[in-house]
Amino acid sequence: MEWENTLFAFEKDIEGRGFWDWMRAHISWMKPLHRYEGLLEITEDKLLLVGEDRPGPFFGLRSLYHTKGKIELEIPVDRIDDVQFGFDETFRRREDRQLGLFGFTPLRIKYESGEGERALYLFADFGRFPVRHCDNERVLEELNEGLKR
């Protein structure tokens, strides 16, 4: 399955966010805190993210996966340790005042990479009209099915 308009960031991106990143996430018509925008695809054996750095003076920190404004990351399903909704000590509820109001939170995916455990936060198929919405529940279902295989 594929989800376009997916917003995502890694733990290091959230930790490195600046004041203006936080401000944008608190303006009612802006998107939730994220670094990349792109496509999420889930197959039987992998999760694939293809996207671009969002425009603007945000996130001075460069991701380990960042190359010339684009990102392409494959995470084998067997390397995924945990998938769940929710805030944590890195992506806190206060990062986006609207997430709790509209009933969705970031989908947090913890996985093993060559450098150790990583955390990924995403909002699949994010939209703002007529109200803010995303398809994180469907992504959670797909990933849980893949983890059971």
**pLDDT for the residue numbered 87:** 79
Nearest to 42 by CA among 122, 129, 116, 128: 122
In percent, the amount of the chain with pLDDT more than 70 equals 74
For 34, the domain range is: 2-148
**pLDDT for the residue numbered 58:** 45
**pLDDT for the residue numbered 60:** 46
What is the rounded CA–CA span in Å between residue 6 and residue 50?
A: 9
Identity at 47, one-letter amino acid code: L
Number of domains in the chain: 1
Mean pLDDT of 29-46: 87
**pLDDT for the residue numbered 19:** 74
Which CATH number does the domain housing residue 43 bear?
2.30.29
pLDDT at 112 over 90: yes
- Which residue stretches of 5-135 are H helix? 11-15, 19-26
**pLDDT for the residue numbered 28:** 55
pLDDT digits (tens, 9 = 90+) for 41-79: 999 899 999 999 875 444 444 444 444 578 999 999 999
The SS3 assignment for 139 reads: helix
Task: Pick 84 or 132 by higher pLDDT.
Answer: 84
The SS3 assignment for 17 reads: coil
What is the rounded CA–CA span in Å between residue 18 and residue 44?
A: 37
